[in-house]
A = this chain, B = another copy of it.
Amino acid sequence: MLSNSQVKHINALKIKKYRDEYKEFIAEGNTLVTDLTKSSYEIAGVYALSEWITGNLDVIGHKNIPVYEADPADMERITSLSSPSPVLAIVKIPAGMAAGLDSAGYGSPEQNIPGLFEELSVMLEGISDPGNMGTLLRIADWFGIRNVICSETCVELYNPKVVQASMGSVARVSVFYTDLSRFLENLKGRLPVYGTFLQGDSIYSIPLENKGIILIGSEAHGISDPLSGFVTGRLYIPSFGSTDNGKAESLNAAVATAVVIAEFRRRGL
């Protein structure tokens, strides 16, 4: 059985203020916790039903992870989900990575982001919905994108809804928060920057390199004017609907991102 102070600590981590203070976040569910134990994240503690512990000794055994046995009533008290899962982990927020590029790092993004100049990376401006953010990380992961660079206006990576919606991709994709204008200013002329707009060149007809940045705008406003200025390749996903009664105005941000990245990857096949 968990102590009241353990339950209180876990529940505090549902709130950003305490995640910032304790430098920890929570992850819930078998796949997510298992994926995190295999990643570079450090696990501060695993809270699980005895059956889960017995069945997952290989996952936790050799990693020196503190494990606390919980009963179903404990899991009810600490869950963020509509029905509690058999395992929840407290995970340490890494000091440098994903806590944001240090402001001293602005001038040399290539030193902070491995592979930036050789690969495709995704850049997110103002993604505010945690479910969208998690889905975007899952898409990046599926398509082998290692680095996701976020504006400081994006929802926090360690929001429990982002962590859950990423379905474990949070353990594999590196996420950086920074001032995108400064970042792109420093990259100018050194990497192509692709942006998705509601008009532009069809993604099926323009040349696409297999390195560079794919910039995705916010759900409500798309790519802002200041950042548009850095875009070297304006992409458009052709729409095929058109009835007397109009057509869909847009695709949602995650869906558009997936269609665009898939086309980059198809070209590279």
Contacts and interface: CB of A to CB of B under 8 A. Distances in A.
Contacts of A204: 266, 269
B135 A247 contact: no
Contact of A241 (B143, B237, B251, B259): B143
Given A245-B38, A246-B38, A240 B265 contact: yes
Chain A: interface size category: 35 or more
Given A143-B241, A204-B266, A262-B259, A167 B254 contact: no
A248 B135 CA distance: 11
Interface stretch (A51-59, A83-91, A147-155, A168-176): A168-176
A258 interface: yes
Contact of A248 (B168, B248, B249, B252): B168
A49 to B, nearest CB: 21
Q: Is the interface of A mostly helix, strand, loop or mixed?
A: loop
B167 A248 contact: yes
A139 interface: yes
A269 B203 CA distance: 12
A168 B249 contact: yes
A150 to B, nearest CB: 18
A141 B247 contact: yes
A239 interface: yes
A141 B168 CA distance: 31
19 contacts: A38-B246, A39-B245, A139-B255, A141-B248, A142-B239, A142-B240, A142-B247, A143-B239, A143-B240, A144-B239, A144-B240, A167-B249, A168-B249, A172-B241, A172-B246, A204-B266, A238-B265, A259-B262, A262-B262
Interface of A: 31, 35, 38-39, 131, 135, 138-139, 141-145, 167-169, 171-172, 204, 237-252, 254-255, 258-259, 262-263, 265-266, 269
